[in-house]
């Protein structure tokens, strides 16, 4: 009895199968790479948006405290907010805020907070917050500039920082710049008119 001949794969069939499998593997790897790149970019974007919001909120909160407590907790002499303009448009301004704090204290405590932007020892730009008598602490990383762009006087008029400054202001506009070249503007309204001065 004659046996049935064994049937296997021919060389062309094997080569075509390997070619199809290779194309599928390359397509899957490309898809995975694009998905990972998109995921990483989305994560970076979300981190940047979060840092921008944190920096903006920190500046609005700190500057918004200017003059707090004066009149109903006590009084203090001098300006309630002072601004030191940077030498150029690319150099940050410095802000000094004065207010009273009563947190469970018998007598209100006068606070003096300074906000500025500088590089740390590693070369990273930071928004710094410093309280009088304490060391400067980084508040938010990757903030490369903090500039005042306008003051709102008691008549509600916007005054530019390069024009004569009003003695009192009811608000101010500042601009934050970040290391990824994004700029964000914040308006800080004051509850009452604040005494403005040079730093």
pLDDT at residue 110, as a whole number: 87
CA-wise closest residue to 114 among 89, 134, 142: 134
The secondary structure of 173-187, three-state, reads: EEEEEECCCCEEEEE
pLDDT at residue 70, as a whole number: 81
Q: Write the pLDDT tens digit of every residue in 112-167.
A: 999 999 999 899 999 999 998 888 888 899 999 999 999 999 999 999 999 999 99
pLDDT at residue 5, as a whole number: 65
Run of H or E including 63:
helix 11-64
pLDDT at residue 186, as a whole number: 94
Q: How do the domains of the chain map onto residue ranges?
A: 58-198
Counting as low any pLDDT under 50, the low residues of the chain are none
pLDDT at residue 173, as a whole number: 96
Sheet with 125-131: list strands edge to edge: 137-141, 125-131, 109-119, 94-101, 81-84, 183-198, 168-178, 143-152, 158-159
pLDDT at residue 132, as a whole number: 85
Tokens describing residue 27: 């397509």
């Amino acid at each position: 009895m004659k046996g049935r001949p064994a049937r296997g794969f021919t060389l062309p069939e094997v080569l075509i199968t390997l070619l199809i499998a290779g194309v599928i593997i390359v397509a899957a790897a490309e898809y995975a790479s694009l998905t990972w790149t998109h995921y990483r970019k989305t994560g970076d974007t979300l981190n940047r948006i979060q840092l921008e919001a944190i920096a903006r909120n920190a500046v609005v909160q700190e500057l918004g405290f200017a003059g707090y407590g004066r009149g109903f907790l006590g009084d203090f002499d001098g300006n309630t907010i002072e601004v030191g303009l940077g030498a150029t448009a690319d150099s940050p301004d410095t802000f000094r805020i004065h207010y009273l704090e009563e947190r469970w204290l018998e007598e209100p405590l006068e606070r003096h907070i300074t906000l500025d932007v500088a590089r740390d020892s590693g070369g990273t730009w930071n928004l710094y917050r410093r309280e009088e008598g304490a060391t400067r602490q980084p508040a938010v990383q990757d903030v490369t500039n903090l500039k005042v762009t306008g003051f709102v006087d008691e008549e509600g008029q916007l005054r530019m920082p390069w024009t004569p400054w009003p003695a009192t202001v009811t608000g101010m506009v500042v601009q934050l710049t970040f290391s990824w070249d994004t700029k964000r503007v914040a308006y800080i309204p004051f509850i009452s008119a604040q005494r403005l001065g040079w730093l």
